[in-house]
């Protein structure tokens, strides 16, 4: 639908890859800063 389900903010610059974790409760992202982050969507 193109609707935003989660807005993440952090110092990572551009996100190169993001995937949903188990049960769609977490989002795992990797950015230009070479750091992998785990975001809680709740």
Q: Would you list the DSSP string of 13-27?
A: -SEEEEEE-GGG-EE
∠ CA 8-34-6, nearest 5°, is 15
List the structure tokens of 31: 């950015």
Could you tell me the pTM of the whole model?
A: 0.64
The domain limits of the chain are 1-42
| Predicted pLDDT of residue 20 | 92
| Predicted pLDDT of residue 4 | 76
Asked if 20 contacts 38 with a C-beta cutoff of 8 angstroms, the reply is: no
Segment 1-42, tens digit of pLDDT: 778 776 777 666 788 888 999 888 888 988 888 889 888 877
Q: How far is residue 9's CA from residue 12's CA, in Å, rounded to a whole number?
A: 8
| Predicted pLDDT of residue 12 | 65
| Predicted pLDDT of residue 32 | 86
| Predicted pLDDT of residue 19 | 92
Element (H, E) at 28: strand 26-31
């Amino acid at each position: 639908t193109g609707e935003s389900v989660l807005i993440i903010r952090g110092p990572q610059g551009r996100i190169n890859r993001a995937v949903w974790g188990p049960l769609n409760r977490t989002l795992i992202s990797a950015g230009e800063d070479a750091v992998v982050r785990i975001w809680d969507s709740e």
